[in-house]
Amino acid sequence: MRQNEMFLLKLGEVVLKGQNRRSFEDRLVANTARRLRSCGSFQVYIRQSTIYAEPTTETCDMEAAYAAARQVFGVVSVARAVPCEKTVESIVETAKNYLAGDFASAKSFKVESKRADKNYPMNSIQVSQAVGGELAEAFPHVTVDVHDPDLTVHVEIREKYAYVHAPAVPGAGGLPVGMGGHAISLLSGGLDSPVSSWMMARRGVELEMVHFVSPPYTSQQAQDKVLELARLLTRYCGRLRVHIVPFTEIQEEIRKNCPEEYFTLIMRRFMMRLAQAIAKRAGAKALITGESLGQVASQTMMALAVTDDVAEMPVLRPLIGMDKVEIIRMSREIGTYDTSILPYEDCCTVFTPRHPATRPKVEDVRAAEAKLDVEGLMARSLEGEEWVWVKP
């Protein structure tokens, strides 16, 4: 760890909040502190729309903390910085030492200054000119280029100190997890549901996961795959509770008693009912699915209406207007793609109809489903529910 190095985390849309902004900031500070805890001891606090994360021991893993800070929802950018006294001499000396490696590889540079302390005697332009002039003399092989430099030296004049850093890197954006309510996400082993979960967590939603298993038609490897997907999401969401719900009897009863073209639709209706029962018990207020309009037969507009017929709470579908290329790109970006494509079947592929209904009518599906003991099947499924805490 470089001497005195720390992190500056800049807030995103949290700064647009009104009278409840403080609650968003407090939650973001708490989430950041919790996320950095595994990387060492950090003091985390907020001043002037910036979160400061300062290591309190030399044993802190700064690389891991840097990566973790970038995955905190609500943070729009992260900079590694060094504080110093608020004098031009101290700022120049800090920049010379801290950014020596950057200057060694750069051919041009400029200085950008921000004066958050409005009582400071020099304005931002004057600070940039003074510091830039001194650095140009210290590194004569590097020219000044205010339009397209290889290196931008950032100077921030704040309450107690000045901070010197190279350009910040993008953060995860969004809103702090916990400020957008509590929802249950239906997590399969595919590409879509981890991305939809990530997108809703990015809007501040606190998640719990539900996964349906159908042994012997689905394997332990398939369940382990889903738990690994949940673990990958914890880098952004924090720890997650995954509800494992047995689904074999329900699927077998559907196959025995219902028309084949409705197999998937009736299965989806049971999943919504079960997830909703778990949501009510957990105090969650919505369900989240990875459905995208028209992607498969059970995701046409009429099919979605059949599924929603049993829903008593909002069903959030963040992928509804996205195509598969976009979803794959996002799964790569958030780190779930390689796990999602592992070749283990989930219960959604069990008893797949050869010719599924794409324009179903709600009343027809209700009539087909009437042959089943819905309440009894649900009760036995929920009796077999298990749950697992998954941590980063």
pLDDT of the chain along its 392 residues, tens only? 456 899 999 998 988 888 889 999 999 999 999 999 999 999 999 998 899 999 999 999 999 999 999 999 999 999 999 999 999 999 999 999 999 999 999 999 999 999 999 999 999 999 999 999 999 999 999 999 999 999 999 999 998 999 999 999 999 999 999 999 999 999 998 999 999 999 999 999 999 999 999 999 999 999 999 999 999 999 999 999 999 999 999 999 999 999 999 999 999 999 999 999 999 999 999 999 999 998 988 899 999 999 999 999 999 999 999 999 999 999 999 999 999 999 887 777 777 888 888 899 999 999 999 999 999 999 999 999 999 999 98
Residue 177 lies in a domain: no
Residue 317 lies in a domain: yes
**Residue where a domain terminates, one of 170, 193, 218:** 170
Residue 11 lies in a domain: yes
Q: Is 362 found in the same domain as 217?
A: yes
How does DSSP classify residue 216?
A: T
Q: Is 327 found in the same domain as 256?
A: yes
Q: Report the DSSP beta bridge partners of residue 75.
A: 11
Cis, peptide link before residue 356, omega less than 30° from 0: no
Q: Is 99 found in the same domain as 25?
A: yes
271 in Cβ contact with 378 (< 8 Å): no
Q: Is 34 found in the same domain as 98?
A: yes
Q: Is 351 found in the same domain as 298?
A: yes
Q: Would the pTM count as exceeding 0.75?
A: yes
Tally Cβ neighbours within 10 Å of residue 73. 27
- Count of structural domains, the chain: 2
Q: Give Cα separations from 316 to 20, 183, 184, 205, 289 (angstroms).
A: 24, 9, 10, 11, 6
Domain extent, residue 283, equals 182-390
Residue 1 lies in a domain: no
Q: Is 346 found in the same domain as 282?
A: yes
CATH of the domain at 78: 3.30.2130.30
Q: Is 202 found in the same domain as 133?
A: no
Q: Is 52 found in the same domain as 31?
A: yes
Q: Is 186 found in the same domain as 136?
A: no
Q: Is 202 found in the same domain as 143?
A: no
Torsion, Cα 193 195 197 200, to 10 degrees, reads -140
Residue 351 lies in a domain: yes
Q: Is 165 found in the same domain as 50?
A: yes
Q: Is 166 found in the same domain as 186?
A: no
**Residue where a domain terminates, one of 113, 136, 170:** 170
76 in Cβ contact with 173 (< 8 Å): yes
Angle at 236 between CA 321 and CA 318, to 5 degrees: 15
